[in-house]
Structure 1
Amino acid sequence: MASEISTHEQYKLLDLAKNAIDDKLKDYAQLKEPRVMIICGSGLGGIVNVLDSEPKLEVGYSEIPGFRSSTVPGHAGKLVFGLIGSKKVPVMCMVGRLHFYEGYSFQETTFPIRVAKLLGVSTLIVTNAAGGVRESFKPGDLMIINDHINFPGLAGFHSLRGPNLDKFGTRFQALSDAYGYDLRRLFHVKSEELKVTRKIHEGTYVFVAGPSFETRAEVRMIRTMGGDAVGMSTVPEVVVARHCGLDVLALSLITNAGNGNPPPSAFEEKPTEQEDNANHDEVLKAADEASHDVQNIIAATVNEL
């Protein structure tokens, strides 16, 4: 696993990353100060399709100091800068997030958030593919996140662990307001204006380290604890975004239903029909089918920011 670096080194690397991006944007006056950062979850990289065709700039992670490579299928590994909506809101899209399970430290997985803050971003919109834990959830449903449970964080693997970066925020970050009402309400209102028929819920997202999908017993435990959806991302980014003073809107696309049924008993005959196991191909397929609705609602929401 990657090692953490000192506060001084972090500040230096952040400045290098900002300067590298500024240099790329020097000929794009309308894009120089992005207002919104959008993190595209698994299979949701198509969100960049709502950006105007011009002006637009793509920057690969390999071109930015401090950025690591995304290794997961469905994560391209690039920043895309462009404008959204009739109000031409400047945005930066992160197409391909970084995960703790890939072997990166939380300093590395959340590094782009702090770079976005330095570039002028004030709002983070983060999307993910998640497993449905609430029994009424179906693949293809959307869930606006209004709270979270940070399992790794509670166990000591927290994205604010280590010396505090005082230039960004306070040592002890309040998170009871992590997912602000105004942005959640705006997303809901825009989905109604667009007459989206896809089911949209609101609930609690549970962050687990991954990369394995949850066992049946783990699904039951998460359900008992009040979790509605479970996934392997988002929370570290949200925590750092709030530490930086960014407003946050987070959205889960339910791509598979968590299986909380007890396994077949060895004391009984084996069932003739076997339950399907969760898999990443299923995640990408569900994301692809829902991407059009997600793109339209996010575009309408961003246009008001």
Structure 2
Amino acid sequence: MDINKIKQASTVIAEQIETRPTVGLILGSGLGVLADEIEQPVKIKYADIPGFPVSTVEGHAGQLVIGNLQGVTVLAMQGRFHYYEGYQLDEVTFPVRVMKDLGIETVVVTNAAGSVNRSFEPGDLMLITDHINNVGSNPLTGPNNKDLGVRFPDMSTAYTPALQDLARDAAKKFDISLKEGVYVWNSGPSYETPAEIRMLQTMGGDAVGMSTVPEVIVARHADMDVVGISCITNMAAGILDQPLSHDEVIETTEQAREKFLLFVKEIVARLN
């Protein structure tokens, strides 16, 4: 990863804001509505930031929104990038590098995910306690720049334990039945087959999606704290006798909107 490219992007962002953000928010499919809650927002299109890819997926607005949320200056990605869009993993994770260069030390990562766990239901929120990289690729592949992180980062606490406790307490405040589990990253863009879902159940997965893990790996490489939330949008293939579609994903995130907003805003407030 070229540090100069990171600094070019962070400089463009820094020149447009008065206060440096301390928390980064990565908002998944249908969850970008949280960025609309940010006060005194500065909005910067990805296309206007050097080195940033452009979101191509429905439900991803494709811009940074920087401002005040619950008394905290945040930088929100209203839409993310995916491996399946044809981007390399260093491109997918480039915004995380830029967040770190801006001084952000905590990342709240969200996604829409299918449930592998039969006890979950669409509309549930799941605290990510761990993940499985089921893609066979890693954003840290290639030469390591020691100024960005160590060659072999420890992933035994990829999702910061103290932030998991903070999230549990935030859920209790609003009586949210927070599920917990392991998120599996598959490349997509095709949904899994029923046989693949049975395999993921055997592996210990609880939810499956097409994002998040690359960003978390890079955040931990950069020694950033991470808390992850999945919005369960559907039961994975073979669990129910029905086809899967992205329309269902967007529809379910809209139904879970109020609960999601309350929960993540409370998490951010507690990071102050």
Q: TM-score range by the shorter chain?
A: over 0.9
Determine which of 29, 45, 67 is the counterpart of 1:42. Answer: 29
Provide the secondary structure at the position in 2 that maps to 1:303. helix
What is the CA–CA distance in structure 2 between the aligned matches of 1:233 and 1:114, rounded to whole Å? 16
- 8 Å CA contact 1:79, 1:92 repeated in 2: yes
**70, 84, 88: which is aligned to 1:101?**
84
User: Which position in structure 2 is the counterpart of 1:160?
Assistant: 140
Whether 2:225 is the aligned partner of 1:221: answer no
Residue 74 of structure 2 is aligned with which of 78, 83, 91? Answer: 91
Counterparts in 2 of 1:124-203, with a 5 A limit?
124-152=107-135, 155=136, 157-196=137-176, 199-203=177-181
Match of 1:280 among 222, 227, 246: 246
One-letter amino acid of the counterpart of residue 43, structure 2: E
Q: CA RMSD in A?
A: 1.2
Look up the match of 2:231: 253
Deviation at 1:177, TM superposition (A): 0.6
Q: Which residue of 1 aligns with 2:14?
A: 22
Contact 1:37 1:116 in 2 (8 A): yes
Distance 2:145 2:215 in 1: 15
Return the offset for 1:191.
Answer: 1.4
Q: Return the offset for 1:204.
A: 0.4
Which residue does 2:4 correspond to in 1?
12
The code of the aligned residue for 1:276 comes to Q
Counterpart code for 1:59: I
Q: How many Å separate the matches in 2 of 1:133 and 1:57?
A: 38
Output the CA distance in 1 between the equivalents of 2:121 and 2:152: 37
TM-score by length of 1: 0.87
- SS of the residue 1:24 aligns to: coil
Structure 2 unaligned blocks of 5 or more: none
Q: Larger radius of gyration, structure 1 or 2?
A: 1
Corresponding residue of 1:236? 214
Cα distance in 1 for residues equivalent to 2:150 and 2:38: 34
CA distance in 1 between partners of 2:233 and 2:186 (Å): 16
Q: Give the secondary structure class of the aligned counterpart of 1:278.
A: coil
Q: Give the count of matched residue pairs.
A: 271
% same residue: 45
Contact 2:132 2:182 in 1 (8 A): yes
Note the alpha carbon deviations across 1:172-210, whole angstroms, 9 max, x for none.
Answer: 0110111111111111111111233xx321110000000
Q: What secondary structure sits across from 1:80 in the alignment?
A: strand
Superposed CA deviations along residues 221-262 of structure 1, whole A, max 9, x for unmatched, are 00011000000000000000000111000011110101335x
Give deviations 1:11-30, integer Å, cap 9, x for gaps. 121111011111222xxx3x
- Look up the equivalent residue of 1:252 and give its one-letter code: S
User: How far apart in 2 are the matches of 1:283 and 1:169?
Assistant: 35
TM-score under structure 2 normalisation? 0.97
The answer to whether the 8 Å contact 2:24/2:99 transfers is yes
Tell me if 1:113 matches 2:96: yes
